[in-house]
Amino acid sequence: MPIFRYKVRDKEGKILSGTIEGTDVATITEKLETFGYVPISIREEQRKAGPGTQFNINQLFERVKPVELINFTRQFVTLHRAGLPMLSAITALQAQTKSKPLIRALDAIRKDLMGGASLSAAMAKHPRVFNELYVNSIWAGETGGVLDDILDRLVMLLEHDRKLKSDVGGAMRYPIILMVFFVIAVVVLSTFVLPKFVSLIATVGGKMPLPTQILIMVTNFMGKYWYLLALLVAAIVVLFYMFIRTSAGRMWWDRLKLRIPIFGPIIYKMALSRFARMFETLDRTGLPILRSLNLVSKTIGNVYLAQAVDRLAESVRRGRGIAAPMRELGVFPPMVIQMVATGEESGALDDMLKQISDYYDSEVEYAVKNLTGMIEPIMILFMGVAAVFLIVAIIMPYMSILTSFGSGGGYGTH
C-alpha cells in the first residue's frame, strides 16, 4: 500500500506532519479529517529501494529508562482522564519526551492509531519499549473499559519495580565487589606468584601439591582457550534465550524462577500482589468475575501462575466459586485463599483483594531490605572456602620448597 506524507493543522492551530498508508489522496484526506485535522498538503512518498537503509545499529542498544516510561504513563493517564482524544494525547506526549526510542515508538503508534489499530496492538509492535506485561495491562484496560484505572496501576507497578531493582542492586553491590576483588587476586597470584614457585620446585626437585596442580591447570586452560569459553557461554545464552521464547520453555523458566533460593519467594510475592491488585481493579468496575479473571491471567507476568488463573477461571465458569478451586490448585497460599473466601461470603471481595495486595507489597519491601543479610552468609561461606583453597595452593609450594631445602641441607652435613 502506498505511503503518503502529510502536513495538517490540529484544532489548536498547531502544524503536525507524518506519514500514513492509504490507497489515494482522497482516502487519506477523509481519514485525517475524521481525526479532526485540517489537511495542508498530502503527497505520495517514493519507497526506498533498500528495506534496511534506515536501520541504525545504535538502536539495538538503546533502551527507554524506567523513569522515562513512568513519566510517560503518568502524563498519559492525566491527559486521557482529562478527556483528550487518544491520538492527540499520544501526539502531545511524543512532542514532550526526550527519549529517542520512545519518540520513535510513539510516532509509529500514532500512525497505527490513525490506521484504526487499538492502543495495545500498536504498543505490542515495540517490545523493547513496552514489555509484555505493559501491553497486556493496556489490553485489559481497553477490553474492560477501565484504561484510566489500569494506567494508574501501571504507574504504581513501574515505580515499585524500579525501586525493587534499585534495592536489589544496592544489596548485590557488596557481594559483587568482593567477587571482583577475589577474581583479581586469583589472576595476579596465578600470573605472577605461582609460576616462580613452580620453577623453583622444579629446580629443587620438589613435588607439586595437588591444590597447586589444580589451580595451574585451570589458569593455563583459561589462558589458552578463553575464546572457546567465551563462545561456549555465548552459545549457551543464545540457546537459552531461544528456548524460553517457546511456550514450553517459558513455562519451565517461569516455574523455575519461583523456586530460586532467596529471589524466588520475592518473585512469587510480587506476582501474587499483581494478581490481587489487577483483580481488585477490574472487579471493582463491575465486570463479571469470569471476565476479570480472564483479563488478570494476561497481566500477572508469570506464565505458570497465569495458567493456574486460567484453570481458576474455568472452575468459576462451572459455577464453583473462587476459594474452593484456589485451594485445589495448590498455587495460592492459605492466607490468600482464606481472605478470598471471607470476601466472597461477606460481599467485600474488592477490599480483601486490596488487603492482599498491600500485604504482599510490604512483604516484598521487607524481603528486599533484608536481601543483603540473606546473601552475606552464602557469600562469606563461598569466599571462605575459595580463600582457603587459594591460600593452600600458594602456601603448599612454599612449604614444599622449604622441605626440599631442609632435606638437601641435611644430606650435605654427612
Question: Where are the domains positioned within the chain?
Answer: 3-45, 66-130, 158-403
Task: Give the pLDDT score at 243.
Answer: 93
How far is the CA of 398 from the CAs of 26, 83, 215, 296, in angstroms? 89, 79, 15, 65
d(CA 321, CA 341): 9
Contacts of 158 (CB under 8 A, 6+ apart): 66, 69, 70, 73
d(CA 14, CA 16): 6
pLDDT (mean) for 279-308: 83
**Contact of 45 with 19, CB cutoff 8 Å:** yes
DSSP 396-408: HHHHHHHHHHHHH
**Contact of 59 with 101, CB cutoff 8 Å:** yes
d(CA 310, CA 360): 22
The strand order across the sheet containing 15-21 reads 15-21, 3-9, 38-45
C-alpha radius of gyration, the chain, whole number = 31
pLDDT at 232 over 90: yes
Work out whether the CA dihedral 119, 244, 247, 251 comes out positive or negative: negative
pLDDT tens readout for residues 73-124:
999 999 988 888 888 889 889 888 888 889 999 999 988 888 778 888 889 8
pLDDT (mean) for 361-376: 79
The C-alpha cell that represents 83 in the structure block: 478527556
The C-alpha cell that represents 327 in the structure block: 485451594
Between 283 and 256, residue with greater pLDDT: 256
Phi, psi of 299 (to 5 degrees): -115, 5
d(CA 337, CA 328): 10
pLDDT at 20 over 50: yes
pLDDT (mean) for 370-380: 75
d(CA 262, CA 367): 9
Chain mean position to CA 77: 23
pLDDT at 404 over 70: no
Domain formed by 158-403, architecture:
Up-down Bundle (1.20)
- What is residue 300's DSSP assignment? S
pLDDT tens readout for residues 125-171:
888 888 888 888 888 888 878 888 888 888 888 887 788 778 777 77
d(CA 225, CA 205): 30
pLDDT (mean) for 322-340: 90
Residue 295: pLDDT band with limits 50, 70, 90: confident
Residue 237: pLDDT band with limits 50, 70, 90: very high
